[in-house]
Amino acid sequence: MDVDLGVEYAEFRTEMREWIEGNIPSGLKELADWSWQPVAGGKRGAALARATADPIYREWVKRLLDAKLICATWPEEFGGRGWDSIRFSVFSEELRRQGVPAVRRGMGETLVGPPIMVHGTPEQQAHFLPRIVSGEDVYCQGYSEPNHGSDLGAVETKGIVDGDELVITGQKTWTSGAQNANMIFVLCRTNPDVPKHRGLSYVLVPFSKENGVTVLPLRQMSGASGFCEDFLDGSRAPLFNVIGGLNNGWAPAMTTLGFERGGNATTAHLGFEQELWDLIGLARKNGKVNDPLIRQRLAWCYTQVQLMRYAGLRLLASLAEGRQPGPEASISKLFWSEYHKLFGELALDVVGADAMIRPDGEGYATDEWQDVFFASRAGTIYSGTSQIQKNIIGERALGLPRETKRSEGKVT
């Protein structure tokens, strides 16, 4: 089933398909399996990292930059093309159809750019946004703390004004991509004498040892270190780097979270679909496809991925009619993360007894399906736990009563 998005989007799809076909550098498709589904802590990312360092990949990036096809959903005045979600989805589908990689600017594109556009001054926009598009600045997130993972309003990291700079001291944790970042967007407390949400500032901080930052990898059960904890010891940032103004960090922080929760519901199924076909290929190869229970579970996975696809198509249809999305982000996140947890268990059953044995290699070596199993557990936690998503859906979408809170053994 496909959604007829109208003549305009059909013409756009043709335009993008022709552009991609005419601009793929020779050898790009062979550098890596660009259809791989990224998993938290998985080691497949190492192979992709090697591929992205190749001159062929860099040429692809240059061609995309020249055509303004990086950060293309950003408004034209900020270096993008002003694409809506439908065009972004169509372009993503065509890239995958051709077997070539999308080039994204990570958290800079999705989590830092939007609050700068909404809350930044013209001078801040002119300085920071081009550096994100070009890839000069690579961001990681400084929100969660050891004692305040979900309650952002309670962060303890301090920011003290010193002349025309802010001096920041504190600890952040669960920092994705910290190993590759040269900037971090930090939520810190700059006024301890007002209610917790009102005394925070949103700051873009140079992320380096020279600026008093210490980064320690956090070992996951897969043996990989996809997350880090960070210690900021007198780290400095110009007051120019404060987005939204001092003590007004809650507004840009919520803008960031809105984009993080929104995700890519219209294209999320693509990676899961390829991953499923890879597993089906393994089941055919080792004979597990002849096991009726395995076949049943594979069929169940297929239906779940198709449901993701249909949900994305429904969202596309709504956007095409000018309707704003409702609770789809929370529903989508809950759906795919719970699906992937069961998929990870099935993957090991398809591998069979060999799944209990780690391959040879340095450190805590694991193979690709063991990575999927381990990482699939994390999907129900990061970007909003399944429990939190259920509360959001129940209370905000369905209008159910708020969950009762327990205090000192009493229901309140």
Lowest mean pLDDT among 53-57, 91-95, 327-331, 371-375: 327-331
Question: 202: closest CA among 122, 124, 78, 115?
Answer: 115
Q: Residue range 117-133: average pLDDT?
A: 96
At 96, is the pLDDT very low, low, confident or very high (cuts 50, 70, 90)? confident
pLDDT value of residue 261: 45
Which of the two residues, 293 and 31, has the higher pLDDT score? 293
Is a pLDDT exceeding 90 seen at residue 363?
no
pLDDT tens digits, one per residue of 311-325 = 877 776 666 666 655
Do 357 and 290 form a contact (C-beta atoms < 8 A)? no
Q: Residue range 141-157: average pLDDT?
A: 80
Q: Residue range 163-180: average pLDDT?
A: 91
pLDDT value of residue 136: 97
Do 207 and 231 form a contact (C-beta atoms < 8 A)? no
Tell me the C-alpha distance between 103 and 3, whole Å: 26
Which of the two residues, 398 and 286, has the higher pLDDT score? 286
Q: Residue range 43-60: average pLDDT?
A: 82
Tell me the C-alpha distance between 261 and 112, whole Å: 14
The two structure tokens encoding residue 345: 């268990």
pLDDT value of residue 85: 77
Distant-in-sequence contacts of 270-274, Cβ < 8 A, 24+ apart: 270/35, 270/92, 270/93, 270/96, 271/35, 271/36, 271/37, 271/38, 272/37, 272/305, 272/308, 272/336, 272/339, 272/340, 272/343, 273/305, 273/309, 274/35, 274/36, 274/37, 274/96
pLDDT value of residue 38: 56
The catalytic site residues sit at: 260
Which of the two residues, 319 and 53, has the higher pLDDT score? 53
pLDDT value of residue 368: 84
Tell me the C-alpha distance between 376 and 359, whole Å: 20
Do 374 and 222 form a contact (C-beta atoms < 8 A)? yes
Do 249 and 187 form a contact (C-beta atoms < 8 A)? yes
The two structure tokens encoding residue 248: 């007004």
At 359, is the pLDDT very low, low, confident or very high (cuts 50, 70, 90)? confident
Tell me the C-alpha distance between 305 and 268, whole Å: 9
The pairing of strands 410-411 and 200-206 is: unpaired
pLDDT value of residue 75: 93
The per-residue pLDDT of the chain, averaged, comes to 86
Q: Residue range 88-92: average pLDDT?
A: 87
Determine if residue 361 is left, alpha or beta; phi over 0 gives left, psi from -120 to 50 gives alpha, anything else beta: left
Q: Residue range 304-308: average pLDDT?
A: 92
The pTM score is 0.80
The two structure tokens encoding residue 54: 């190749």
* Percentage of residues in the chain having pLDDT higher than 70: 85
Is a pLDDT exceeding 90 seen at residue 206?
yes
120 Cβ partners below 8 Å, 6+ apart? 128, 243, 244
* Domains, the chain, with CATH or none: 7-104 (no CATH), 112-128+135-247 (2.40.110.10), 263-406 (1.20.140.10)
Tell me the C-alpha distance between 196 and 256, whole Å: 18
Tell me the C-alpha distance between 206 and 138, whole Å: 10
Q: Residue range 370-387: average pLDDT?
A: 82
